[in-house]
Chain A
Amino acid sequence: MNAAARFLGGVRSLRTRLLVAFVLLGVSTAVLVAGVDYVQARDIILQKTQDTAVLTLTERIETLLPPGGLGPGGLPPSQAELDAIAGRLSDRDDTAVAVYRDIRSVGGPDVDTLAPELRNAVREGRVVWQRVLVAGRPVLVIGTQLRIVLRDGVTLPPELEIYSVRSLEPEQQSIGLLATRAWVTGAVALVFAVLLALLAGRGVLGPVRELRRATNRLGEGDLTARALVLGTDELADVARTFNNTAETLEGHVGELRRMESEARRFVADVSHELRTPLAAMTAVTDVLDDEAQRLPGDAGQAARLVSEETHKLTRLVNDLIEVSRFDAGTATLVLDDVDVAEAIRATLRARGWSDRVRTDLPVGVIARLDPRRLDVIIANLVSNALQHGAPPVSVRAHARPDQLDIEVSDSGPGLAPDVLPHVFNRFYKADTARARSEGSGLGLAIAWENARLHGGGLTAANRPDAGAVFTLHLPRPDSESGDPR
């Protein structure tokens, strides 16, 4: 779940970044090209229309009024004259109006709606134009003065204003078309950018994902994990390097495992080979013990020594065999429903420890466990406490619904801090001065393995006051789950 989320998140981030980069690039290029195009084309169209319109108007005005075209009466022009001028200047595209002071021609654009700046500019004698919206439609308004040159060359004061209005709707349509084309170009560019980004993403992410899969498997301990090498790019190089590293690692680990298993098998074989001669020796130790009492001096001592050491050797070999069975993974549990207090008391009784060990055991606690292995654990812990700790040694059991804790504590000086982490190591000797002790040196290691075999654990600690305390934790599965036949 967590891994899946991380996996997805990782993919998203790199893919998103690629996608965003490609889209930004694609769209900005498209927008720039199409936008510049659009603006330029629009300006050109409008400019051309304007120029044409202005030119048309001025030309018409010139043809309209040959010098002395107006009546001799001159100014002010009559209403009819203004109408005539406006009429001559209007056609299909343009509608003109002629204004002289308060008089204006009939029809045409409403002069009062024109911008004051426009009119002022016209009055100053300039030819001006302006694009405005009239009733929501774009139009071009051109304003100029009609100069009246009299026969004697006198130019009358320029008070006759002409305003011509031309609709820009055709141009508007052309420009709209341009804008649409720009949008379409942008959209197509966007689609292309996304597609390209996805393609590029796949190209990059595929190998990356493959590498991650292989790395994860390697990390989980599958040393045969290899990445698929795709193509010849840098990512393929990385995959190749990864594969080489994994291969080397696999080789080394395989070699180590082979050596370790050989060493373990050797120990197991040696132990088994030792067992048969030991069985013969053990069989006669009682004979030796009996005879030793009658043998004089050295011979008796020698016989006793052989007998004692045979027992120790037997214990050591048995422990070695036990340990090799744990190493080989062939140790199995023989489960039974056991009264915990009874079992612990039986262990103490069998070894003659009942008087030396205090017990605090709950009555009637039944646990499903391997009684022989529990016996081994308790015996090793108590033996250790009796040998290395100081009396009183006590065994306490505490049962919870899901767990059983058995605590073996002594009242000695406790374990040194540097000893504590190694106390369950095989053949670990806390006291280097004492080369050999009663036990095989494997007792606590075997107790620890037995606890683990039960799915539990064994911990060592010091009590706050004094003394070491070893605690066995055993899980208590539902006793209904196992079938004792």
Chain B
Amino acid sequence: MSRVLLIEDDRAVRTGLELALTRQGHAVDAAGTGEQGLALLRATPPDVVVLDLMLPGMDGFEICRRIRTDGDLPIIMLTARNDDMDVVAGLEAGADDYVVKPVQPRVLEARIRAVLRRSGGGPANVGPPPVERHGDLAIDRAALVVSKQGRPVGLAPTELRLLLELSATPGRVLSRQQLLELVWEHDYLGDSRLVDACVQRLRAKIEDDSAAPVYIQTVRGFGYRFGPL
């Protein structure tokens, strides 16, 4: 059972989603405004936040940023449209995934489970030694800690999972669709912007120069690759 914080201004949608998520075995805290949501967040820290972007007062992007500065809590956005600036802006603000309204409860449930899996435990196959060194970067797959030049790097669950997947096979190119399946567990053709936005955030945290990345390299026409250093 996990604790879900649902922030959604429309009463009917909020009630409906609360009902559905509760039936699926989650403990749901529901808030109608951003301010209320942040208050609940502090009162009863959830495992995941389901956040409507269009809110009166403090909007979803701002809440996203605030949650991100405080910690690594996974965030799933609820958006009205699936291919406009909202999605990109939400991902840049730090959201881990998004669903489009109206959303079927089982789709939202699948995304919640996927994002929660990312925050707990490393990849199932524990082959390589627990602490790997790649240049200045040290990746501890057991403790799920990444440090650069000895200083720990604060990574959100999705960012960490992306780094773990890429660094598991240094030098091998993974396509965006492969990464969507591995990291986001999307079982159909997903939105590659999820990957691109997450790579940008990850680069900002681990690269010396995001414009000339060393660890997460773009292979045009194919996807992304870890190294070679």
Residues on A close to B: CB < 8 A? 272, 275-287, 290, 314, 317-318, 321, 325, 330-332, 334, 336-339, 342-343, 346-347, 349-350, 366, 368, 371-372, 374-375, 479-480, 483-485
A290 to B15, CA, bound (A): 18
Of the listed stretches B113-121, B146-154, B219-227, chain A binds B219-227
- Residue B12 is within 8 A (CB to CB) of chain A in the complex: yes
Given A280-B10, A287-B23, A485-B218, 9 more A-B residue pairs with CB atoms under 8 Å apart are: A276-B12, A281-B16, A282-B104, A284-B16, A284-B105, A318-B102, A350-B187, A375-B188, A375-B189
Instruction: Find the B residue at minimum CB distance from A333.
Output: B83
Q: Which residue of A lies closest to B18 (CB)?
A: A283
Interchain CB contact under 8 A, A287 and B19: yes
CB-CB < 8 A to A277: which residues of B?
Answer: 12
Interchain nearest-CB distance for B2 vs A (Å): 18
Binding site for A on B (CB under 8 A): 10, 12-13, 15-17, 19-20, 23, 80-84, 101-106, 175-177, 187-193, 196, 199-200, 218, 220-223
Assembled-state Cα–Cα distance A479/B223 (Å): 12
Contact present for A331 and B83 (CB under 8 Å): yes
| Residue from the list B12, B191, B222, B223 in contact with A334, Cβ < 8 A | B191
CB atoms of A484 and B82 under 8 A apart: no
Known A-B contacts A272-B80, A279-B101, A372-B83; the reply to A346 vs B19 at CB < 8 A is no
A314: which B residues are within 8 A, CB to CB?
102
CA distance A332 to B222 in the complex (A): 21
CB contact between A283 and one of B17, B176, B188, B193 (< 8 Å): that residue: B17
Identify B177's interface contact among A280, A284, A339, A349, CB under 8 A: A339
Q: Once the chains are docked, how many angstroms separate the CA of A280 from the CA of B82?
A: 18
- A485→B200 contact, CB < 8 A: yes
Q: Are B17 and A338 in contact (CB under 8 A)?
A: no
**Which residues of B have CB within 8 Å of A332?**
83-84
- Taking CB atoms, residues of chain A closer than 8 Å to B23 are 286-287, 290
Which residues on B sit within 8 Å (CB–CB) of A325?
Answer: 81
The answer to whether A283 touches B177, judged by C-beta atoms less than 8 angstroms apart, is no
Closest Cβ–Cβ distance, residue B17 to chain A (whole Å): 5
Q: Is the CB of A372 within 8 A of B191?
A: yes
CB of B63 to closest CB in A, whole Å: 19
Contact (A280, B12) CB under 8 Å given A332-B84, A372-B83, A372-B191: yes
Contact present for B16 and A334 (CB under 8 Å): no
A282 to B105: give the CA distance in the assembly, Å. Answer: 8
Pick the contact of A483: B13, B84, B220 (CB < 8 A).
Answer: B220
Please tell me which one of the listed residues A280, A283, A349, A371 contacts residue B192 in the complex, with CB atoms under 8 A apart. Answer: A371
* Sample (25) of A-B pairs whose CB atoms are under 8 Å apart: A277-B12, A279-B102, A280-B12, A280-B16, A282-B16, A282-B102, A283-B19, A284-B19, A284-B20, A286-B105, A287-B19, A317-B102, A334-B192, A334-B193, A339-B177, A342-B177, A343-B177, A346-B187, A346-B188, A346-B189, A349-B187, A372-B189, A479-B220, A484-B196, A484-B220
Q: Which residue of B lies closest to A321 (CB)?
A: B81
B16 contact set on A, CB distance < 8 A: 279-284
Cβ-defined contact, A280 with B175, below 8 A: no
B190:A283 contact, CB within 8 angstroms = no
CA distance A277 to B16 in the complex (A): 10
Chain A residues, CB < 8 A from B222 = 337, 366
Pairwise interchain contact B10-A287, C-beta atoms closer than 8 A: no
User: For A283, what are the chain B residues with a Cβ–Cβ distance below 8 Å?
Assistant: 13, 16-17, 19-20, 102-103, 105
Residues in chain A near residue B105, CB distance under 8 A = 282-286
B20: chain A residues within 8 A (beta carbon): 283-284, 286-287
Most chain A CB atoms below 10 A, which of B13, B17, B189, B196: B189
CA of A317 to CA of B218, assembled, Å? 38
**Looking at the complex, which one of A272, A276, A349, A371 makes contact with B13 (CB distance below 8 Å)?**
A276
Q: Which residue of A lies closest to B199 (CB)?
A: A485
Give the chain A neighbours of B83 by CB distance below 8 A. 331-332, 334, 372
Chain B: minimal CB distance from A482 (Å): 8
In Å, the complex CA distance between A335 and B23 comes to 38
A474 to B19, CA, bound (A): 44
> What is the bound-complex CA distance between A325 and B102, given in angstroms?
17
**A371 near B10 (CB under 8 angstroms)?**
no
Contact A347 B188 (CB under 8 A): yes
The answer to whether B102 and A281 have CB atoms under 8 Å apart is yes
A372 touches B82 (CB 8 A): yes
The one of B84, B103, B190, B200 that contacts A282, using a Cβ cutoff of 8 Å: B103
Bound complex: CA of A285 vs CA of B104, how far in Å? 8
Of the candidates A286, A318, A332, A336, the one having the most CB atoms from chain B within 10 angstroms of its own CB is: A336
Task: Provide the bound-state CA to CA distance between A51 and B225, in Å.
Answer: 119
Distance A375 CA – B220 CA, assembled complex (angstroms): 22
What are the residues of chain B within 8 A of A284 when measuring CB–CB?
16, 19-20, 105
Q: CA separation between A338 and B190, bound complex, in Å? A: 11
Name which residue of chain B comes closest to A314, CB basis: B102
Q: How far is the CA of A321 from the CA of B80 in the complex (A)?
A: 10
- Please give me the residue from chain A that is nearest to B15 by CB atom: A280
Measured CB to CB, the closest approach of chain A to B103, in angstroms, equals 7
Are B10 and A279 interface neighbours, CB within 8 A? yes
List residues of chain B with CB within 8 A of the CB of A342.
177
Q: Enumerate chain B residues within 8 angstroms of A480, measured Cβ to Cβ.
A: 220-221
Q: What's the nearest-Cβ distance from chain A to residue B174, in Å?
A: 12
- Residue of chain A at shortest CB distance from B107: A282
Question: What's the nearest-Cβ distance from chain B to residue A110, in Å?
Answer: 108
